[in-house]
Amino acid sequence: MRQVLHIFQKDARHYWREAAVSLALVVVFGWNEVGQLTDEVWTPDVVGPHSLLGLIAMLLPVAWSLLIVRVIHGESLVGDRQFWVTRPYEWKKLLAAKVLYLITFINLPLLVMDAFVLARAGFPPLTHLAGLVWMQILIMLFFLLPVASFAAVTTTITQVLLTALVIALYLGGIVALWQHTLSSNFISLIDWLQTDLFVLTVVAVILWQYARRRTNQSRWLIIGFCLWVCLAVVAAPYKALVAHEFPEPKAGQPPPLRMAILAAEIPTPTTFYAKDKEVEIQLPLGVSGLAPDAIAAVEGVLIEIEGPGGSHWDPGWKSPFLFIFPDQTKIHIGFTLKKDMFEQIKAVPVKVRVSFALTLFREKNRKEFVVPAGEFALAGVGLCSAGEAYAQQIHCRAPMRLPAFLLISADMASTTCPILGGESPGRPGVTERGWRRSDTSGPAEFGISPIERFDLYLSNSAPMIPAINQTAGICPGSHLTLSNPKVAVRNRTMLEIDGMRVGDYQLKPTTF
């Protein structure tokens, strides 16, 4: 322990400037976070608290990275002629001293700042102690350790910068590869496998460097992980993974809802930029059979087209981010076709197979709620306020993480918001809904700030009822229904359409 403290004190003396800059940025970030608590409306300031907060949020990781690199390079791990090797240093104690330094000058100040911000935001820090600690663990695993692993296999700041450039180019290439791989943007299982392997890789590199200083082997370990990610993105059996996560209903079990193709609608111009080589197709589907307390989340859609001569079109699974509620009778599913393929099949009867990956939720904790004036506590969420300035919605701040699933609903005619010029009262019997859903597990989300800010607003989910020129919103006195939907089952269902003419469902784009 004496050697650990000796190395720690030496680093504290040598790198006090870097540590001071890091501490100062943490203080400024916390000061700006507290200042935002009194802001009622977000405004895009060119120079102001919001822009300053964004700048500090970018500078903090840079300052932390510099501090980590300087501390690790203080006893370089590359080569075998370092001065510190001739001293009676034990690698375990050297590593322990570096970890202690990073916790003392990065994690501990951030933990104190987060607790202070929570307290000023109206949330007792001790109540959220598990979340505060979890945030520091996430920062350690997914930021501090990766930077330390790169510092462990380099000797100079120049090498670190070149490594950062290579990593940036690699990530850009992975994103491009991911976007052009069928179904890769839908399934999440591979992401979890990559996350676990990522943590194991950076930990192994750091331990191997301190224990053996085999730099080439450590670098190849990093390169191997990068190659594995490329292979996983390209060669993963996405359809098999989707089938495993969203199985077909068991024999005799009815599907969670029924779907049927509707007649083609009168094509109307749509407000998006026309693409010369692509054609937008939109399928109107009738939906029915959803239980009154159920909500269906369409997690993925797979559209396959079998054309004449055995031609087959399969773009892979796509995520439409679509919810279906019990009172809905119609949804729209859109996709794009290459213009040359569209010209070949637009007037020819084809077979279309539409597969849906569905998550069925059941509403829980359903209760009536009247929005009070001023700030109020919303159970399971945090502190909220409604009707601030001209924003006819609920603005909330939540401690540590967003709610897992919060659903609000209201009758369009029950709003207490004032009717503005050109608007008409909402139609009775038409339900509006708003929701906030987070797939993050654990007591806190990855990030620097302990406060999550979000808005809840109402929208009309029934496409047959036009919402234009109808007043809608949430103001003090509005009657809402709150619930916390829980996952009931995940299933796949399929709709087959024979003899469909794709050209009947073409959207006419508006060019700009």
List residues bridging with 355 in a β-sheet. Answer: 302, 494
Q: Which residue has the higher pLDDT, 119 or 311?
A: 119
Q: Is the pLDDT of residue 466 over 50?
A: no
Do 305 and 353 reside in the same domain of the chain?
yes
Residues 490 and 245: their CA atoms lie apart, in Å, by 7
Residues 105 and 238: their CA atoms lie apart, in Å, by 43
Half-sphere exposure of 430 (CA within 13 A, CB side): 20
Across 116-125, 408-417, 497-506, the highest mean pLDDT is recorded for 116-125
Do 108 and 176 reside in the same domain of the chain?
no
**What would the two tokens of residue 476 be?**
């003090």
Do 282 and 237 reside in the same domain of the chain?
no
Burial class of residue 87 in the structure, from the number of CB atoms within 10 Å of its CB (0-12 exposed, 13-18 middle, 19+ buried): exposed
Residue range 275-296, pLDDT digits in tens: 567 888 889 999 998 988 899 9
Q: Is the pLDDT of residue 185 over 80?
A: no
Do 440 and 500 reside in the same domain of the chain?
no
Residue 2 lies in a domain: yes
Do 240 and 202 reside in the same domain of the chain?
yes
Question: pLDDT confidence of 24, banded at 50, 70, 90?
Answer: very high
Do 387 and 441 reside in the same domain of the chain?
yes
Quickly list DSSP for 242-303. HHHHSPPPPTTPPPSSEEEEPPPPPP-EESS---TTEEEEEEEEEEE---TTEEEEEEEEEE
* H helix intervals, 15-82: 16-36, 49-73
Cβ proximity of 457 and 263 under 8 Å? no
Written as one letter, the residue type at 462 is: A
Residue 297 lies in a domain: yes
- Give pLDDT, residue 217: 94
Residue range 189-215, pLDDT digits in tens: 556 567 889 999 999 999 999 998 889
Range of the domain at 58: 1-128
Q: Which helix (H) or strand (E) is 313 found in, with range? A: strand 312-313
- Which of 243-257, 258-272, 300-314 comes out lowest in average pLDDT? 258-272
The pLDDT of 16-39, averaged and rounded, is 89
Can you list the positions of beta strands (E) in 464-509? 479-483, 486-500, 508-509
Cβ proximity of 261 and 285 under 8 Å? yes
Can you list the positions of beta strands (E) in 340-468? 350-362, 367-370, 375-378, 382-386, 394-399, 405-411, 431-437, 451-456, 459-460
Residues 230 and 242: their CA atoms lie apart, in Å, by 20
Do 344 and 383 reside in the same domain of the chain?
no
Question: pLDDT confidence of 457, banded at 50, 70, 90?
Answer: confident
Mean pLDDT of the chain: 84
Residue 139 lies in a domain: no
Of the candidates 219, 87, 246, 237, which has an alpha carbon nearest to the alpha carbon of residue 152? 219
Do 121 and 7 reside in the same domain of the chain?
yes
Residue 404 lies in a domain: yes
Residue 191 lies in a domain: yes
CA distances from 440 to 101, 148, 437 (A): 30, 26, 9
- Give pLDDT, residue 50: 52
Do 45 and 103 reside in the same domain of the chain?
yes
Half-sphere exposure of 374 (CA within 13 A, CB side): 0
Domains contained in the chain, number: 4
Q: How many CB atoms lie within 10 A of CB 289?
A: 13
- Give pLDDT, residue 149: 95
Do 179 and 159 reside in the same domain of the chain?
yes
**What would the two tokens of residue 358 be?**
């569905």
Do 384 and 480 reside in the same domain of the chain?
yes
Residue 228 lies in a domain: yes
Do 345 and 283 reside in the same domain of the chain?
yes
Strands 294-306 and 322-324 come out as: antiparallel
